[in-house]
Amino acid sequence: MLHAHFLASSSRHVVGRTAAATVLRFVPVHVAEEAKSIGLSQFRTSALSATPGLESAILSPAASALGFMLWDKNWLGSAFALNFVKNVIATMFYCITLSATGSMPSFHPGDASMIALPFLALSAFLGVVIGDSTSIASLKRLGARRYLLIDCMKPALAQLVGVLFFSEKVTIRLVAGIAAVISGVYIASAAKMNAANDGASTKDSKGFTLGYALAGAHLVLDTVGASISKAYGSGLGPLNICLLRFGSAALMLGAMSAAAQGWSSLKRSKPEPSVALSSEPEDETVASGTKWWQLPSTMSRKKWAGIVFGTFFVTFIAPALFMRSVLLMPLGLAITLSCTAPLYEPLLARIIRGVRAEPQAIFGAVVACAGVAILCV
């Protein structure tokens, strides 16, 4: 379904070596024993920090922020289509990298990958297929500011899950650090949002109620998805976990797209009165003129290249780093640090777009960085 120039055989080995080198560079293992226990033997040992997984948790949101900027600049299709495309491309990246490093899961009966597959597929369904959909729907109804207020509660929920199901301890330092990070991220993210015009499409109380319900659902689904991956993916490496999760999500979204396409074709094949044809609305379309389940047909090769590079950062590098941090760190701490992507946006916007950061964004970044320092001391 994707354009052939992304799959040219002449570039596969180069991409494989590049992707493998990138992951090997940014996903080190600090302690060999920990690496073996969670299936991270394909990564080298490093001593960049005293907290295992810390640099992975910090670098992951930076990669996401860079990739999101590329997506925002180049994508012309629907959110569903982007969700499908990113999962397909990311799955190819993971397959190429795992093949290049000799770490491709065998999928033999009784193998760790086969045992974890149904649970990681469930994690993908909850966190990627359903969770991302509720996130987009909530953002559209509430606007960015209201949505962000709910999303900033994710670290607290993750910490609660860690205490209840993973026997993680809560300390005053941990609570203070998480609170500072949440506050800083919200301040930095809200810097460019106007309360009177924050993108909300809903103005009535029922619409807001539904929006908050969807935001809460995404909060829970995303946290549960990460928890399932942590619980049942401990025998695999981060790359194998991500391959199974995003591969499963790609298959599910592909099936949904095929079903929507089939239903649309079936509706068009049925004869209907001409009056009904002229009065009934057409299937929902996006700005590019395509249906929500279709890939945009008006994007240039340059824009597709931007989407591929964005996916490399958002759905390949960032999840691998995040999953490593989830396996090595307490769940609440890993998810807290993963929510700091808005802190990198002012710096990246300055470098890439030449946009000057607002004082409020800088202040929020300082508060959040103070929270990270508290967590890591």
Instruction: Report the pLDDT value the prediction gives residue 192, as an integer from 0 to 100.
Output: 59
Instruction: Report the pLDDT value the prediction gives residue 19, as an integer from 0 to 100.
Output: 42
Instruction: Report the pLDDT value the prediction gives residue 292, as an integer from 0 to 100.
Output: 83
Residue 112 CB neighbour total at 10 angstroms: 17
Q: What is the C-alpha to C-alpha distance for residues 201 and 208, in angstroms, rounded to an integer? A: 9
More confident residue, 201 or 160: 160
The winner for highest mean pLDDT among 32-41, 173-182, 277-286 is 173-182
Residue 32 CB neighbour total at 10 angstroms: 12
Instruction: Give Cα 113 to chain centroid, integer Å.
Output: 22
User: What's the chain's average pLDDT?
Assistant: 75
Q: Which residues contact 296 (CB under 8 A, 6 or more apart)?
A: 75, 76, 77, 81, 286, 288, 290
Residue 201 pLDDT grade (very low, low, confident, very high; cuts 50, 70, 90): low
Residue 6 pLDDT grade (very low, low, confident, very high; cuts 50, 70, 90): very low
Number of H helices, E strands in the chain: 17, 0
Instruction: Report the pLDDT value the prediction gives residue 348, as an integer from 0 to 100.
Output: 78
Across 9-13, 80-84, 364-368, least confident range: 9-13
Q: Which two tokens stand for residue 67?
A: 């990739």
Residue 8 pLDDT grade (very low, low, confident, very high; cuts 50, 70, 90): very low
Q: What is the C-alpha to C-alpha distance for residues 233 and 213, in angstroms, rounded to an integer? A: 29
Instruction: Report the pLDDT value the prediction gives residue 313, as an integer from 0 to 100.
Output: 94
For 221-242, write each residue's pLDDT tens digit. 988 988 898 888 877 889 999 9
Q: What is the C-alpha to C-alpha distance for residues 114 and 125, in angstroms, rounded to an integer? A: 17
Asked if pLDDT for residue 274 goes beyond 60, the answer is: no
Asked if pLDDT for residue 194 goes beyond 60, the answer is: no
Residue 278 pLDDT grade (very low, low, confident, very high; cuts 50, 70, 90): very low
- For residue 285, list its beta bridge partners: 291
DSSP calls for 167-227: -----HHHHHHHHHHHHHHHHHHGGG-BTTBSS----SHHHHHHHHHHHHHHHHHHHHHHH
Instruction: Report the pLDDT value the prediction gives residue 376, as an integer from 0 to 100.
Output: 65
DSSP calls for 43-75: S-B--S-SSTTHHHHHHHHHHHHHHHHHHHHH-
Q: Are 98 and 104 in contact (CB under 8 A)?
A: yes
Instruction: Report the pLDDT value the prediction gives residue 377, as an integer from 0 to 100.
Output: 61
Mean pLDDT of 293-319: 91
Mean pLDDT of 52-75: 85
Mean pLDDT of 171-193: 79
Q: Which residues contact 201 (CB under 8 A, 6 or more apart)?
A: 140, 141, 143, 207
pTM: 0.71
Q: What is the C-alpha to C-alpha distance for residues 164 and 125, in angstroms, rounded to an integer? A: 23
Instruction: Report the pLDDT value the prediction gives residue 281, as an integer from 0 to 100.
Output: 41
Mean pLDDT of 339-360: 76
Residue 183 pLDDT grade (very low, low, confident, very high; cuts 50, 70, 90): confident
Q: Are 317 and 64 in contact (CB under 8 A)?
A: no
- For residue 291, list its beta bridge partners: 285
Residue 288 pLDDT grade (very low, low, confident, very high; cuts 50, 70, 90): low
